[in-house]
Structure 1
Amino acid sequence: MDLQDYYRILGLRSGASFADIKASYRRLVQQYHPDINPNDLKAKDKFIAVTEAYKFLQMVLPPEEIKPQPSEIKINVSSATEVKTQPAAAKTTVISHPPNLEDIEQRLKWKTYEQLQRFLQERRFPQAIALAEALMARLPADAEVRQWLAIAYQIWGRALITEKQLPKARIYLKKALKTDPYNKALWNEVQRDFQRLELKL
């Protein structure tokens, strides 16, 4: 695939800004996530393609493409460069520096996510829960981590219904809702799981 193909996978034209790339990636990942589309192989393939496209573009774009707009003042995690800005008419300067704590935590977050996916696919639910809870303790304000933990609780709750461990299933489904209470897609899934659970009683 060439560079154009990666932009196309994310629904963008070549040369789109990194902010657009990131926004499109987040929207598509939520839409095609395997936990939201269980047993849908097309959604799973799209999820993998979108993730690979985002990671590729993040690696190949030059640091100046990834840096914030001149009106913003912040540290850009993706490019590992500190961006210092002057008033709007002044020139933006980019100063390289070694990875900071925020860079390291972001790498840790995504490595943990990959491991979490493996545990869930292998049905190693206690390990998946422990891993997600540890990451949540480290990054308590991270909305994505909160969502991952809630989904891990829900998947285990659903597995426990199948195993007829109904009281335990109810506990983990409730934990899922409590962990990410504003996630409508998760809420709808958990409500269906509760209906299944009631039918088994």
Structure 2
Amino acid sequence: MEIVDCYRLLGLRTGASYEDIKASYRRLARLYHPDANPTNQQQAKEKFIQLTDAYRRLTSIVQPSSRTASPRAAEPSGRNPNRSVQPPQKSEQTSPQPSTPRVATPKPPSPNSSAKPRSPNPPSSTKPPSVRFTPDLTAIDCRLKQNTYEQLQQALREQRFPRAITLVEGLAQRMPNDTEVRQWQAISYQRFGRYLIKNNQPEKAKLYLRKALRTDPNNRSLWYEVERDLQRIDQVEIL
């Protein structure tokens, strides 16, 4: 097979590049491969063999084109090409060193010091919380609870403790299962107990402080404060 016939068989012009020969052969080989022509495998096989022979012969004489290197950029006019260019020197700057912070040495405790660590104070339970309305309350009960709460707050601020206790006990009888009302009742008892301690009525103060514990036994903050109040009473009685 002549070289011209090889180009013609691959559908190329004479003198085509190596890349064109390779691309054309791949395209025609997929087209005439026997597996791609199940109804005419014999003719496809003969065509495939001819294409392969033409491809092998052309690639044996045509070399892949090498990439030409890009020429160097021309030197600017007036510059000596043989002169070595030195990179600019960076001025060394001494970075300021951070000053070491002084750590104050703690003073040892004085041997005569008898200070004792204070125990953390629990959250105060002496302020009645805001009003909460449960779904089982009627509209009348909601208004009654809100009004009683406002009157209770005013009575506690004015230290009218018997009035406050009367209000909250009446509300507790109407709403015996309301935990919030029970909390208000316990706080009122505790406030009155503290008031009695200041007015030198320890026995009566104990009575109301213990009523506060029985009314709201699950309130840990209340228990802490009431126990502290009872200890104050015991210390006063010892003195």
The TM-score normalised by the length of structure 1 is 0.52
How many percent of aligned residue pairs carry the same amino acid?
A: 50
Question: In 2, are the aligned partners of 1:36 and 1:185 still within 8 Å (CA)?
Answer: no
How far off its partner does 1:34 sit? 7.3
Residue in 2 aligned with 1:150? 186
Which of 199, 204, 207 is residue 171 of structure 1 equivalent to? 207
Partner of 1:192: 228
User: Which residue in the other structure is 1:160 paired with?
Assistant: 196
Task: Output the CA distance in 2 between the equivalents of 1:34 and 1:122.
Answer: 18
Asked if residue 141 in structure 1 is aligned to residue 177 in structure 2, the reply is yes
Partner SS for 2:177: coil
After TM superposition, list the pairs within 5 Å mapping 1:59-78 onto structure 2: none
Q: 1:171 deviation in Å?
A: 0.2
Give how far 1:33 is off. Answer: 6.8
Unaligned runs of 5+ in 1: 1-30, 38-46, 56-74, 78-100
Give the structure-2-normalised TM-score. 0.44
2:159 corresponds to? 123
Partners of 1:129 and 1:178 in 2: how far apart? 15
> What residue in structure 2 maps to residue 110 of structure 1?
146
Find the aligned partners of 1:165 and 1:118 in 2 and give their Cα distance: 24
Cα deviation digits, residues 78-125 of structure 1 (max 9, x gap)? xxxxxxxxxxxxxxxxxxxxxxx7111011111101100100100001
The question of whether the paired residues in 1 share the 8 Å contact of 2:161 and 2:192 is answered with yes
Structure 1 residues 130 and 189, CA gap change in structure 2 (3 angstroms): same
AA aligned opposite 1:127: R
Q: Does 1:182 align with 2:235?
A: no
- Of Structure 1 and Structure 2, which has the larger fraction of its residues in helix? 1
Higher Cα Rg, which structure? 2
Larger proportion of strand: 1
Question: Which whole-Å CA distance do the structure 1 matches of 2:123 and 2:210 have between them?
Answer: 24
Q: How does 1:29-40 map to 2 (within 5 A)?
A: 35=126
Deviations along 1:38-76, one digit per CA (max 9) or x if unpaired, are xxxxxxxxx8xxx6xx99xxxxxxxxxxxxxxxxxxx95
For residues 136-178 of structure 1, what are the alpha-carbon distances to aligned partners after superposition, in whole Å with 9 as ceiling and x for unaligned?
0110000000000000000000110000101000000000000
By relative contact order (CA 8 Å, sep 6+), the higher-ranking structure is: 2
SS at match of 1:115: helix
